[in-house]
Amino acid sequence: MAEAAIEEVEIDEVEMRKAQALKREKIGRWLLPLIVIVLTIFAWDRFCVWNEIPHYIIPRPGQVLEALINDRVILIGSLGTTLVITFSALAIAIVGGVGLAVLFAQSKWIEMTFFPYAVVLQVTPIIAIAPLIFIYVDSKFAGLLICAWIVAFFPILSNTTLGLNSADHNLRDMMKLYGASRWQTLRYLRLPAALPYFLGGLKIAGGLSLIGAIVAEFVAGSSGFGSGLAFRILEASYRLKMPRMFAAILLISIAGVLIFMFMSFLSWFFLHKWHESAIKREI
């Protein structure tokens, strides 16, 4: 091996081509979507100009950008409101989801008793429950939080439950043989084993909590607690301020993408040393 390192290393053609293909793929991954978006924006702009579409029906991309800059104070403020709801709901979803999963993992009976209710909560569309919540809950902030939480907690609960139950049975036997307590088994075996599943659930829940927050805002309207992006979209649509509406949608999408990227990073950070999903294949 040492000699090979000093000598001119010969790489066969197939390997060479593979390496080149990999490099092209790396560039393409960024470049291709970029080209598509530039072309789309250009086509959108031309479409508006050539068909003389008024800005209150479809704004030109430049007008959206203008709205983004001119209305930045309102929009950023609303984005902040929406994000506060999103992240608070996500935080409660994590605590509640993991907490319930751990509780379920303690006893099959508890899981059997309560899991169906979690499913019912999940499959009933939030848009149908939200009006009720806002009738019964006085605080609008709390109402928004509950809505976003209902949407976000299920993937965390169901994934973490699956993860806690998928700890290797031989390892569980071993824990028993060495006299591990329930808490030790949870801490040293079941929680680490559940981590990849939890992170998978978190990736879904991050996006869902944003969706939950937006949907709840639509139902709640503007009274009380600050106005989020969904309210800005409604308001802009009433006033036919299409550029602002587009700008608000753009901000929501960007926020969603950033949340997803952050969750993906977290997943990589915790798993890249040991989990199959985060390991690059060498051959």
Instruction: Compute the least distance from the CB of residue 276 to another protein, in Å.
Output: 8
Instruction: Compute the least distance from the CB of residue 165 to another protein, in Å.
Output: 16
User: CB under 8 Å, gap of 24 or more: what pairs does 137-141 form?
Assistant: 139/224, 139/225, 140/220, 140/223, 140/224, 140/225, 141/85, 141/224, 141/225
Q: Of 38 and 279, which CB lies nearer to another protein in the complex structure? A: 279
Q: Of 25 and 282, which CB lies nearer to another protein in the complex structure? A: 282
Instruction: Compute the least distance from the CB of residue 187 to another protein, in Å.
Output: 10
**Cα(199)–Cα(123) distance, rounded to whole angstroms?**
22
Instruction: Compute the least distance from the CB of residue 15 to another protein, in Å.
Output: 23
**Cα(198)–Cα(193) distance, rounded to whole angstroms?**
9
Instruction: Compute the least distance from the CB of residue 184 to another protein, in Å.
Output: 6
According to DSSP H, which parts of 137-241 are helical?
A: 140-165, 169-177, 182-185, 191-220, 229-238
Contact 153, 96 (CB under 8 A): yes
Q: Of 202 and 215, which CB lies nearer to another protein in the complex structure? A: 202
Kindly list the distances between the CA atom of residue 264 and the CA atoms of 258, 261, 272, 281, in Å, as whole numbers in the listed order: 10, 5, 11, 19
Instruction: Compute the least distance from the CB of residue 263 to another protein, in Å.
Output: 19
Contact 154, 89 (CB under 8 A): no
Q: Of 40 and 184, which CB lies nearer to another protein in the complex structure? A: 184
Q: Of 25 and 276, which CB lies nearer to another protein in the complex structure? A: 276
Contact 233, 129 (CB under 8 A): no
Instruction: Compute the least distance from the CB of residue 180 to another protein, in Å.
Output: 5
Q: Which among 134, 162, 155 has a CA at the least distance from the CA of 209?
A: 155
Q: Which among 87, 86, 96, 97 has a CA at the least distance from the CA of 159?
A: 97
Q: Of 5 and 177, which CB lies nearer to another protein in the complex structure? A: 177
Q: Of 129 and 266, which CB lies nearer to another protein in the complex structure? A: 266
Which residues of the shown chain bind another protein in the complex (CB under 8 A)?
Answer: 168, 170-171, 173-180, 184, 188-189, 192-193, 195, 273-276, 279
